[in-house]
Structure formats: C-alpha cells, structure tokens
Amino acid sequence: MIPAKRTFILVSLLIIIAVTAAFLPAWRDIWQFMLALSTVMLISDAFIAWRSSDIKITRQVSNSLPLGVVTPVAVKINNTSGRKIAVQLFDHHPASLHTAELPQTTDIESGEWNTIRYHVTPTQRGKFTFGDAQVRLLSPLGLWWQDKKIEQKDTVHVYPNFAAVTKYILLATMDRVQQMGIRKRRRRGEGSEFHQLREFREGDSMRQVDWRATARHGKLISREYQDERDQNIIILLDCGRRMRTQDDELSHFDHALNAMLLLTYVALRQGDAVGVGTFSGEQRWVKPVRGTGMLNTILNQVYDLEPSAEAPDYSRAAMDLLARQRKRSLVIVMTNLRDEDGDDLLPALKLLKNKHTVLLTSLREKTIDDVIHQDVNNFHDALTLASTHQYLDERSQAINWLISNGINCLDVTPDDLSVQLVNYYLAMKAANMI
C-alpha cells in the first residue's frame, strides 16, 4: 500500500490540530478523536482495498513492429471487483521502445472494461519482451494506492522499416507508384521477353505487329513483350563499422536494410529470384528464390543483424559469393565507400564482374551535403568547406575510377537510397543489363 494524496492531506490536518492542542488544551480531546478516527479510516480503507480490488489485464500489441515507426499499444482492463476503481497503469515495455504517454489513470465501473492506449517507437531491431503490467488501484476513500504487478508477457519482433513496402503495395494497386519517386521505365508490351499475342491497340508501334498472325486473322495483331523474368538478384550487405554512421535517428545500416526490403519486394513482383549475403561481421546467406513468400524469409533472417566493429573485407565477400552462386546474377554491394578502398574494392568487384553484373551502392553522409550549403562566416567555416570539397572530390574520383572499369555505381544519401536503388534496378532490367 502506498499513501495517496488524501492521506498526506489528512496527516497535515492532524499535525495542525496537534500543534494547536499543544497551545490550547481544550483542543486535546478533538486531537485524540481525530487521531483515532483517522487511524480507523486508514486501516479500514486499506483492508477494504486489499479485499475488493481485483482486476484482469489483456495487452494488445502487434508481434511485428517496424523500426522507427510509431505503433499503438492497447491495454484492456477488466474491473472484476464489486466497486468502482480508479486505476493508474504503467506498462513495463522494453527499454528500446520509447514512449512518453505513461503512466495513465482511468476510472472503471464494477464489471466493466476500459482500454488504455499509448504509442511506442522502436529504436532498435531484434526480439523483445514486454514485462508485467504495473497498476495502482485507489482505495474506496482515496487514502491508499494498492500497487500490484500483473503478469502479462508479450514478445515482439522489431523488423527493418517495412512501411515503404506497404506504401508501395498500396500505390501499385492504384497504379500510382510515381508518387514514391519510382519511375516506370517501359510501357506494357515493350519489354524484351515475348509474352503473348493480342489485338493491335492505339499507341502500339508498327514494330510490334506480327504480320503472319495479322494475315491469318485478317486484322492487326501485336506481339506483347515483358521485361525478362526469372533473373537472380543478390544483395551483398556490408555489416562493417562504417555502416554504424548515423545522420538521423537511423544508422546507415538500418537505411540499407529498409532499401533492401523495398527492392526485394519489387524484384519478386518482377518475377526475379532474390538472395542476400552479409560480410564483415556476422555472415548470413539466403540463396535466391522466387515467390512473394521470400520477403518474409529474408526479413526473418536479417531483422536482428547489427553492424560490427570490423573493417569491410570486400575480397573475401567476393570469393564467398562466387563459391555459393554460380548462375549469372545482378550483385548489389551495399556499403559506405571511402577513397582508400580502391586497393581492395576494385579487385573484388572485378572478380565478381567476370561472372556477374555488379552494382555498387554507396551511402553518402548527409552531413557532408549540409556542410556544402552552409554559409561561410569565418576562417574555420572556410577550412571546413574546403576540406569537405576535397573529400567529395576524392570520393568522386574513386567512383569514376570504378565506373571506368565497368562497375555500375550508385552514390546517394540514406534518405534517397530506397527509391534510387529501385529506379536503378528497373532501369538496368529495362536495358537488359542484368
């Protein structure tokens, strides 16, 4: 039992009467009566609260939460006692799920249910467990809070942010993916793989006309093509120390995971097989497989990955991939490029290029772009700006060097990675570069 606000008021009143009785003997009888009455009230109120305060709790929370996305949690409380109860709730959520909406207080009639809702924001991927729900129940006279912990374990998995995938699905259903910045590279019927014959439609080019079928049917018949399907996409994810870089609430590694999920979904919808490999940290391998169910497979394999303290070892990653994947594929290396990587990175990418099509995706620090656009007010600002330009120039030279050696490169900030990567993949597919 924890004293409530009314108890402190009552005790303060008793102290005032006691001080008064010390100077005015006539108040002693009042003091003794108030002391006895208060003692009876406190004991009786605590006893009634202990005997009649009975509640049940059910927590409702999704077992799959996207990283960095505000998610609702509902706690349903059932008052099974014979009286109205004021309930104060503090839910023992995992420390990695941030909230500022607890504790909360509500009144519940006897036999009724009430729901307390709050929101959490996951800040770390992995598997986490909600602990007990801690409640304080106000006694009938409001003198005590009865503190209770009610066992209510719930396990949640915090995954990379799949909200972009959900948005893409919604917009794709309405044929409005351009709102995400994803560009359609070809109109239907202009791919590279034969799909079917159909009647000629307005807008079809004369090159699509199948003249034999036209002569046979007595009307114009067009060939319809689609982008080539059943190609392999392998994503090589750097789990080294550079991917710990953080420009906002998410690290470069988390941005890379989010982009990987969106690309995986788009590629699976295109009929391609998608696989994932990691290097420079905990090594995991998911062989490329087609089908929408592959998205969940990849999600469950990478959701608890964290970047290590190791330096990227591109040569080992290339040799491991060549040993695992023999069929020609589009290999997308996701990393954070530095100008000093040339001695190791270029030989590794050339090794991969002998067997596969290679796309290097490098995450550029957003703070670098911010420095470029800042005003120069003093000598220190000028030095910072000059060194930043030098860094960008060296980085640009490293990327141009890779491009001149036949390596496809994409250098973007983390915020732009998801959309730009999908656009680059669709452009390569439309150009028959895979």
The predicted-structure confidence for 296-339, as pLDDT tens digits, reads as follows 899 888 888 999 988 888 999 999 999 999 899 999 999 988 76
What integer pLDDT is reported at residue 195 of this predicted model? 57
- Confidence (pLDDT) at 188: 45
pLDDT band at 119 (very low <50, low <70, confident <90, very high): very high
Compute the distance between CA of residue 66 and CA of residue 55 in angstroms, rounded to an integer: 32
Q: What is the mean pLDDT of residues 141-162?
A: 87
Phi, psi of 264 (to 5 degrees): -60, -45
* Helix, strand or coil, per DSSP, at residue 273: strand
Pairing verdict, β 232-238 and 2-3: unpaired
> How many other CB atoms are found less than 10 A from the CB of residue 49?
23
Confidence of residue 271 (pLDDT cuts 50, 70, 90): confident
**Cα–Cα distance, 375 to 320 (Å, whole number):** 47
The 3-state DSSP class for residue 341 equals helix
CATH class of 232-430: alpha beta
Question: Measured over all CA atoms, what is the biggest interatomic distance in the chain, rounded to whole angstroms?
Answer: 123
C-alpha to C-alpha distance for 158 and 66, rounded to whole angstroms: 6
pLDDT band at residue 180 under the 50/70/90 scheme: low
Q: How far apart are the first and last CA of the chain?
A: 70
Fold classification of 1-158 is Immunoglobulin-like (2.60.40)
> 423 CB contacts (<8 Å, ≥6 apart)?
181, 182, 183
The whole-model pTM stands at 0.71
Which of helix, strand or coil describes residue 415? helix
pLDDT, tens digit, 9 for 90 and up, residues 383-416: 888 888 888 887 888 888 888 888 999 999 888 8
| Nearest alpha carbon to residue 7 among 143, 140, 141 | 143
- Which of 226, 224, 184 is CA-nearest to residue 208? 224
pLDDT for 53-102, tens place per residue? 788 899 999 988 888 889 999 999 998 887 888 889 999 999 889 998 98
Domain ranges of the chain: 1-158, 163-226, 232-430
Distance separating alpha carbons of residues 281 and 52, to the nearest angstrom: 56
Q: How many residues in total does the chain contain? A: 434
